[in-house]
Amino acid sequence: SQQGEEDPQALSIQEGENATMNCSYKTSINNLQWYRQNSGRGLVHLILIRSNEREKHSGRLRVTLDTSKKSSSLLITASRAADTASYFCAPLNYNTDKLIFGTGTRLQVFP
Amino acid sequence: DGGITQSPKYLFRKEGQNVTLSCEQNLNHDAMYWYRQDPGQGLRLIYYSQIVNDFQKGDIAEGYSVSREKKESFPLTVTSAQKNPTAFYLCASRTRGQPLNTEAFFGQGTRLTVV
């Protein structure tokens, strides 16, 4: 399956702490994307990492990709209460164009 | 103001009725997607389209139908054959074939309730 599976399912931390979420997948990919969803809203794209990249940064976000292990991680540093949301990964293969999401990680950041 | 628009935001349907959810984008994207999300769950792919006049079934296509007559539009019909249609429906679009632009843009969703 091309679907990504996020781990853990839920994560609760205090403001200022770092949050790490993991994603595993089973097929070959061209890129892997991370998205965020606030409750009752659409998903918003956060960051994309290509299969030939190992690490990428965007503000407080750091994404890693290990294609040999078929896994990726999303690190949010110095978390804020506003980071409270669900986070999803989506591995993408250009041949199928099938964008499939897992069940996500629900992050709760307490003030 | 470019983007992807879903309408209506809330929709109520009586059992046995078909209902059509609208999804329109002015981003000139080739690929469009429909997802279903149940409370506390992830997104499940219903149908997707890579190009006008073509579409493929996703993982849960039974009870749903789509059309792609125009690049900008990808309406989803929830038919009476869908046994449990109450859910949050999300539409997305993205560019194909250009490695620099493969992120998806999502609409704000339609919450369908069967009464």
Give pLDDT tens digits for A9-44: 999 999 999 999 999 999 888 899 999 999 999 999
- Chain B neighbours among A 45-74 (CB < 8 Å)? 45, 48, 50
Neighbouring CB atoms inside 10 A of A82's CB total 9
**B11 contacts B114 by C-beta, under 8 angstroms:** no
Strand pairing report for A5-7 and A19-24: antiparallel
Residues B8-44 have pLDDT tens digits of 999 999 988 999 999 999 999 999 999 999 988 899 9
Work out the pLDDT band at A96, boundaries 50, 70, 90: confident
With an 8 Å Cβ cutoff, are B48 and A48 in contact? no
A-chain residues near B109 (CB < 8 A): 40-42
> What is the distance, to the nearest Å, from the Cα of residue A48 to the centroid of all Cα atoms in its chain?
9
Pairwise CA distance, residues A70 & B34, whole Å: 26
Looking at the predicted structure, is the pLDDT value of residue A3 above 90?
no
CA distance B43 to chain A (A): 6
Minimum-distance CB partner of A98 among B45, B92, B103: B45
Looking at the predicted structure, is the pLDDT value of residue B66 above 70?
yes
